[in-house]
Structure 1
Amino acid sequence: MAPRQPIRFGLTPVFLTNDLLLLEQLQAYLEKATGHPVQLVTRRSYQEITSLLLAGQIDLAWICGFPYAVHRDALDLVAVPVWKGQPLYRSYLICGAEREVTGFEQLAGDTHAYSDPDSNSGYLVTRALITESGHRPDSFFAHSFFTYGHRNVVRAVSTGLAQSGSVDGYVWDVLSETEPALTRGTRIVRQSELLGFPPVAALKEKADSPELIAARRALLDMAQDEDGRAVLAMLRLDGFQAAEPALFDRIAAKVALVGRLG
Structure 2
Amino acid sequence: MRRAALCLIAVIAAVFALVAVPGSGVGEQLVSWISHQPPQDAARGSSTAARPDGGPLAPAGAPLRVAIGAMITPERTVHWYEGLFDYVARAEGRPLRIVQRRTYEEVNGLLLRGEVDLAWICTGAAWQIADRLAPFVAVVPRVRGETVYYSYLVVHAGSDIRDLDDLAGRTVALVDSLSLTGRRVAWDLLERAGRDPDRFLGRWYYTHGHDYSIRAVARGLADAAFVDSLVYEDLLVRDADEVRGLEVAARYGPFPIPPIVLAPSVDRETREHLVRVLTGLHEDPAAEKLLHELGVERFERADPRQYRQ
The residue matched to 2:99 in structure 1 has which SS?
strand
Q: Conserved in 1, the CA contact under 8 Å of 2:116 and 2:263? A: no
**Residue 13 (1) aligns with residue 91 (2):** no
Q: Conserved in 2, the CA contact under 8 Å of 1:157 and 1:185? A: no
Matches within 5 A, 1:56-205: 56-75=114-133, 76-204=136-264
Query: Deviations along 1:54-91, whole A, 9 cap, x unmatched?
Result: 11111111011112111111221320111111111001
Match in the other structure for 1:217: 276
Find the aligned partners of 1:205 and 1:87 in 2 and give their Cα distance: 26
- The AA in structure 1 aligned to 2:65 is R
Aligned CA-pair RMSD: 2.0
Find the aligned partners of 1:140 and 1:154 in 2 and give their Cα distance: 21
The residue matched to 1:231 in structure 2 has which SS?
helix
Structure of higher CA gyration radius: 2
Match in the other structure for 2:98: 40
Find the aligned partners of 1:110 and 1:181 in 2 and give their Cα distance: 25
Change (3 A) 1:207 1:70: farther
CA deviation after TM superposition for structure 1 residue 205, in Å: 5.2
CA deviation after TM superposition for structure 1 residue 18, in Å: 2.2
Query: Deviations along 1:96-138, whole A, 9 cap, x unmatched?
Result: 2121233221111111000111211111111111111111122
Find the aligned partners of 2:163 and 2:280 in 1 and give their Cα distance: 42
Matches within 5 A, 1:224-243: 224-243=283-302
The residue matched to 1:156 in structure 2 has which SS?
helix
Match in the other structure for 1:255: none
Q: Conserved in 2, the CA contact under 8 Å of 1:94 and 1:187? A: yes
CA deviation after TM superposition for structure 1 residue 5, in Å: 3.6
Gaps of 5+ in 1: 253-262
Q: TM-score, normalised by structure 2?
A: 0.75
Q: After the TM superposition, which of the residue ranges 228-237 and 127-136 deviates more from structure 2? A: 228-237
Match in the other structure for 2:26: none
Gaps of 5+ in 2: 1-58
- The AA in structure 1 aligned to 2:67 is G
The residue matched to 1:170 in structure 2 has which SS?
helix
Match in the other structure for 2:303: 244
- The AA in structure 1 aligned to 2:297 is D
Find the aligned partners of 2:274 and 2:111 in 1 and give their Cα distance: 15
Q: Conserved in 2, the CA contact under 8 Å of 1:29 and 1:227? A: no
Find the aligned partners of 2:210 and 2:98 in 1 and give their Cα distance: 20
The residue matched to 2:131 in structure 1 has which SS?
coil
- The AA in structure 2 aligned to 1:64 is C
CA deviation after TM superposition for structure 1 residue 26, in Å: 2.1
Q: Which has the bigger relative contact order, CA under 8 A and spacing at least 6? A: 1
Equivalenced residue count is 248
Q: TM-score, normalised by structure 1?
A: 0.87
Find the aligned partners of 1:23 and 1:70 in 2 and give their Cα distance: 24
- The AA in structure 1 aligned to 2:93 is G
Change (3 A) 1:79 1:14: same
CA deviation after TM superposition for structure 1 residue 23, in Å: 4.1
